[in-house]
Amino acid sequence: MKNVKAGLKVLIIDDETEICYLLTKILKGKGVECYSVYSLSEAKSFLNTFSPSVIFLDNHLPDGLGIDFLGYLRLNYPEIKVVIITAHDTLYINGKNVEPEDIEIIYKPFNSNRILVALEQATRN
Amino acid sequence: MKIFYKEQKVRNGYIAAFVLLMISYFLVFFVLWQMEKRVMLVNKTSEKINNLDILLSCVNESENVFKGFIIMQDSGLLDSYRNHNHCAESSFQTLKKLLEVDDAQLKYLDTLYTRVSANVSLSDSTLSELNGAKAQEQNIKTRLARQSANVKEIRRIVFEMQTNETKQLASSSTEFETTSNTLKIVHLTTFIIALLLLIYSVLVFNNVSKEKLLYREQLEDGFKKLKTANNDLINLRSIEKFAASGRIARAIAHEIRNPLTSISLATEQLESTLVEEEEKSMLEIINRGINRIHLLIQELLNSTKFSQLTLDTVSLNTLVYEVIDLAKDRIDLNAIKTVVNLDTQPCIIKADREKIKVALLNVVVNSIEAVEPEKGIIEITTQQNDGKCIVSIKDNGSGMDENELSRIFEPFYTLKENGNGLGLTLAQNIVLNHKGDITVKSKPNNGTLFTMVFNSNE
């Protein structure tokens, strides 16, 4: 198991409540302060009160695409590292590859180790 | 429409020529009829003239013989005289019939008859006087003189009648000549018009034939275009079907991967809390299931998505050789006979070498699995046609019915116990990705033929 920096704050944005529940449980077990929300609008209001170091962002959400939300995050919270999670093979939109080069992407299904590796990489710098 | 209008013109030309020909025929018949009439007229006229001559000679002879009888008192001469009178009488009857319709000539004939009759009655008077007791020489002389004058008059009338007949014949000749000349002109004109119409018709007909040829070419061209369009449509349909399969596969993958993630994460959590070996082996089963589902989803997506190609120029023949090499173990294992007919001119295509090989291999493997071991024959052929490189793979396996054939490229559709139903789906995906075309022909118990067509790079 990877080691995680102490006192790390993580926000999970995914409409799959079970995944949110399990991820939160795993990360809390590693000593991470972790919360989860199920939509982009919830995330926006939640970020007013909570400042995470890392966000695990699902791409397909009820009120929009995670990849589109990325711009908002970079503008308002440039210090937050983002890891995108998707159940699709690529982030193709209308036949165009929009995969951002500097963003870590996790493809479903994944195990807890994959999450922890991503978390470690995101907080290394 | 133009062509039909011209055909109408040709038809009209032929009809006109036919009508003119009919007129010509009619004129010929008319001329023949006229000529026949004229021959009859000539015959009749000469008959009339002959009979008039006969009449005249009979009258002359009758007079001469009678005179001789007066001088010689020979009863033989009297018989001869009577015979000549009969002769004159019969000529009269003939002439009367011949001149039936000619009133002027009939009048002359009547006068003639009166004169002849007068002579006969004068002769009769003389004869009865000679038979009587007192024959007066002076009376006989006077009668003879009157008879001579009558004969003279008869000769004049006969001559006049003959002149009339000749004149009538001459006038009819002139009339016939005029008619004949007019007919000649009409004939010639008809002939020229018919000839012109014929030439015109032939010219128009030739023109129409050329246009017909052109029309035919246009039709054939249209037919070709239609065929191409139809093929494009069939290709489009298979592409559309393929794209639909891809969309469905992606939607399913998305829906399955989310719960699969939950199961995977939850299983991990359980793993860390369970201590019993049996419980752990249960989790192993769950994990294997997760992996199997995960791989299946991955294969489904790979076989139905448009993927990025690393294009290279490759020879189709080389690819076929490499694929046969890859399948060699399976071919040998089942003792299958392979027949390879490669085009002598290598056909070069632009393709992702590895992907095309996968497509070819999948089709070849499908054929290997379709044939009976030790009896199977697989025939691989390459050829070039119209800027296309074609590879066909034919087997002598059990074949398929129409229903099976229509579903052959569908994901997860398989007729084999161990097949996952994605091999041909992937082959089709790869071929379509290369803007190529894959088709299959098959009949139950009659083998299957796969044909893949790629655009030539030359």
Structure confidence by residue, pLDDT tens digits, B38-78 = 888 888 888 888 988 888 888 888 888 888 888 888 888 88
CB contact under 8 A, B253 and A88: yes
Tell me which long-range contacts A43-52 makes (C-beta under 8 A, separation of at least 24).
A43/A11, A43/A13, A43/A69, A44/A72, A46/A11, A47/A11, A47/A76, A47/A77, A50/A9, A50/A11, A51/A9, A51/A77, A51/A80, A52/A9, A52/A10, A52/A11, A52/A80
Categorize the per-residue pLDDT at B290 as very low, low, confident or very high, splitting at 50, 70 and 90: very high
Chain A residues with CB under 8 Å of B305 CB are: 89
CB contact under 8 A, B261 and A88: no
Categorize the per-residue pLDDT at A92 as very low, low, confident or very high, splitting at 50, 70 and 90: low
Report the pLDDT value the prediction gives residue B335, as an integer from 0 to 100: 92
Cross-strand bridge partners of residue B291: none
CA distance A75 to chain B (A): 30
CB contact under 8 A, A89 and B254: no
On whether any CB of chain A is under 8 Å from the CB of B371, the answer is: no
Tell me the average pLDDT across B386-407: 90
Spatial separation of the C-alpha atoms in residues B162 and B51, rounded to whole Å? 10
Chain A residues with CB under 8 Å of B296 CB are: none
Report the pLDDT value the prediction gives residue B77, as an integer from 0 to 100: 85
CB contact under 8 A, B269 and A19: no
Report the pLDDT value the prediction gives residue A77, as an integer from 0 to 100: 92
Q: Could you report the predicted ipTM of this complex, rounded to two decimals?
A: 0.87
Mean pLDDT for chain A overall: 87
CB contact under 8 A, B264 and A111: yes
CA distance A11 to chain B (A): 18
Q: Which of B262, B266, B269 sits opposite A16 (nearest CB)?
A: B262
Q: Which residues contact A63 (CB under 8 A, 6 or more apart)?
A: A39, A40, A41
pLDDT at B17 over 80: no
pLDDT at B13 over 90: no
Task: Indicate the pTM of the whole model.
Answer: 0.53
CA distance A108 to chain B (A): 6
Q: Which of B250, B255, B264 sits opposite A109 (nearest CB)?
A: B264
CB contact under 8 A, B265 and A88: no
pLDDT at A19 over 90: yes
Categorize the per-residue pLDDT at B100 as very low, low, confident or very high, splitting at 50, 70 and 90: confident
Helix axes B137-273, B423-433, angle to 10 degrees: 120
Residue B226: DSSP 8-state: H
Chain A residues with CB under 8 Å of B262 CB are: 16, 18-19, 22
Residue in chain A closest to B299 (alpha carbons) equals: A89
Reading phi first (left if > 0) and then psi (alpha if -120 to 50, else beta), residue B421 is in left
Q: Which of A108, A111, A112 sits opposite B258 (nearest CB)?
A: A108
Report the pLDDT value the prediction gives residue B1, as an integer from 0 to 100: 56
